[in-house]
Structure 1
Amino acid sequence: MSDLTIIANIQVKRDKLDLVKAELQKLIPITRAEKGCLQYDLHQDNDDPCHFVFVENWTSRALWQDHMQAPHLAAFIAATEGTIENMIINEMTLV
């Protein structure tokens, strides 16, 4: 059982869909190799292709916080500036 589950809902601007999707996909192999990452899966809504959800599981909040400060996440933020309508990140615990 993991100590922390992250659900990240990302709504992107329709005219930036291809760019953001490509940038999101770049994060997957790098993040999966990070210390503490147990799961890092990207999903795209079947009815709204501009809605993405990351389902993440981490061994600790501290290691997830390290991920949030990682250079590849900073590169994603820079590459997608102005392309995301809304992002909601929920930190969750399995009950």
Structure 2
Amino acid sequence: MMLFWNDVSEEMEPVMKEDMPLTIVAKVVVKEEYREELEPELVRLLDPSRKDAGCLLYDMHQSNEDANTFLFYETWQNKGLWESHMETEHLKRWRKVSEGKVSDFELLQMTKV
């Protein structure tokens, strides 16, 4: 089942303390025919996300093997602030413009060891 960013919080069980830093690794694969449209939309997420409360790191990478594959590497002060980020207007806008145009989405919540 493909998840979209608005489904993530309900799908995941917490395995960390709420006040610990949270690392997010999110892989987004856009459909080939929408890459030219969606790539700038993904880039558009960077500045406002980096300014969101609790954002310590928010980087986007593009695969060298498949130009349709993007990876976000994020670090948040804690899970609650990441969850707040997921409800921001820029993420809501992304979900709207990308609806039906993403072929795969994977998200990992991780804790540094």
TM range (shorter): over 0.9
Counterpart AA for 2:46:
I
Residue ranges of structure 1 left out of the alignment (5+ in a row): none
Match of 2:104 in 1: 86
Q: Which 4+ runs in 1 deviate beyond 2 A?
A: none
Task: Give me the whole-angstrom Cα distance separating, in 1, the residues matched to 2:107 and 2:85.
Answer: 14
1:24-43 equivalent positions in 2, closer than 5 A: 24-43=42-61
What TM-score results when the alignment is normalised by the length of structure 1? 0.96
RMSD: 0.9
SS of residue paired to 1:25: helix
What TM-score results when the alignment is normalised by the length of structure 2? 0.81
Task: Give me the whole-angstrom Cα distance separating, in 1, the residues matched to 2:71 and 2:101.
Answer: 16
Q: How many pairs were matched up? A: 94
Q: Find the partner of 2:79 among 47, 61, 64.
A: 61
Task: Give me the whole-angstrom Cα distance separating, in 2, the residues matched to 1:59 and 1:22.
Answer: 27
Q: Percent identity?
A: 36
